[in-house]
Amino acid sequence: MKTLTLNNGNTIPQFGLGTWKSKPGEVKNAVKYALSIGYKHIDCAAIYGNETEVGEALKESFADNVVQREDIFITSKLWNNRHKKDDVVLGLKQTLKDLELDYLDLYLIHWPVAFKPEVIFPEDASGVLSLSEVPLIETWQGMEQAVNQGLVKNIGVSNFSIKKIDNIISNCSIKPAMNQVECHPYLQQDELLASCQQNDIVLTAYSPLGSKDRPDSLKQKNEPTLLENEVIKNIAEKYQVTTAQILIKWAIERGTVVIPKSVSPERIKQNFEAQNINLDTEDMEQIKTLNRNYRYVDGSFFAIPNSCYTVESIWG
Ligand code: A2P
């Protein structure tokens, strides 16, 4: 499996298994199966509500000698209610306990949005903390403490704009190694990708297949279906593969990490095999024309009325 080198010399497998929306009853088998066929990278987060089951899958896979801990790469993410400096390590320790691990390979600030410690998801503005009350650089200092305590090897961010990353870079001791953002042919993120590459930050593409299993409350009416795009379909036909496989290989070809989610063994295998496809320059050129800056995960769920967060402030 291809790897990319992070800014501290560590490497990350370019292909991994996403676990957002994987239900607790399904995710354990998905992770075990993925590891058994060669996946080396599992992307997790506390807010996905399934880290305990991922932990069981890891523990059993280690016990059965399917993989060794040092041969795989595990990412998780700090939830919005753990942004205060001294809460970061607490959040990470809970994740380590759930995943039954001693250390993570990568820990990310999940969103540039802060909530009060006792609030998982605010019902109204009283549950949020502004970025003046808990600046992102304070949260970042907590992330640096986690590295210094040996709890995580690499740290980064998720859903961060160029401006927010620049602010961290100007004020940090340890530079962010990663920005994980939504990225696919409808949201190609050219400017953000170029800026990350200039700063030696790797970009991970989430929702690479268009996340069609999002809850209806997170969907817009008439949203475009990436997996049924005609251009992608034609390229898939040319190589006798599926549209999902073309989307995955496109992300790898662009030098990003990609983490398609699946809980179906057949699709987990199919997605893994996408790494073997060879896209040519013409395919890449055709896919380039599909960009429409379309976000499936548009952040509107954090635009809590009368709070300091708006869709513009989240992405800006
Ligand atoms: P499932 O878990 O049943 O396989 P994303 O990674 O963009 O969030 O997309 C995840 C969605 O795409 C899930 O609904 C997942 O369903 C589905 N999916 C994953 N792999 C494939 C594939 N190879 N072909 C079609 N759908 C897929």
Q: Would you state the structure tokens that stand for residue 239, as one six-digit string?
A: 């190589």
Quick check: 213 pLDDT over 90? yes
Alpha-carbon span 108 to 79, nearest angstrom: 9
In this prediction, residue 82 carries a pLDDT of: 98
For residue 26, which atom of ligand 1 is closest to its CA?
Answer: 2
- Percentage of the chain surpassing pLDDT 70? 100
Ligand 1 pocket check: which of 27, 183, 204, 212 to mutate, most ligand atoms within 8 Å of Cβ?
A: 212
Q: What is the arithmetic mean of pLDDT over 113-118?
A: 98
146, 173 Cβ separation under 8 angstroms: no
Please name the residue whose Cα sits nearest to atom 19 of ligand 1.
262
For residue 296, which atom of ligand 1 is closest to its CA?
Answer: 7
Q: How far is the CA of 170 from the centre of ligand 1 (A)?
A: 38
> CB count, 10 Å around CB of 162?
16
Annotated catalytic residues are: 48
Could you give the domains of the chain?
Answer: 3-315 (3.20.20.100)
Collapsed DSSP state (helix, strand, coil) of residue 106: strand
In this prediction, residue 217 carries a pLDDT of: 86
216 vs 79 pLDDT, higher one: 79
260 ligand 1 Cβ < 6 A: yes
The string of pLDDT tens digits covering residues 65-82 is 999 999 999 999 999 999
**If you average pLDDT over every residue of the chain, what do you get?**
97
pTM: 0.98
Q: What is the dihedral of CA 152, 154, 155, 156, to 10 degrees?
A: -150
The string of pLDDT tens digits covering residues 249-307 is 999 999 999 999 999 999 999 999 999 999 999 999 999 999 999 999 999 999 999 99
For residue 264, which atom of ligand 1 is closest to its CA?
Answer: 4
**CA-to-CA dists, residue 271 to 39, 40, 293, angstroms:** 10, 13, 24
183 ligand 1 Cβ < 6 A: no
Alpha-carbon span 36 to 29, nearest angstrom: 10
Q: Tokens 């209806």 map to which residue?
A: 216
* CB burial of residue 282 (10 Å; 0-12, 13-18, 19+): exposed
**CA-to-CA dists, residue 149 to 72, 212, 260, angstroms:** 21, 39, 31
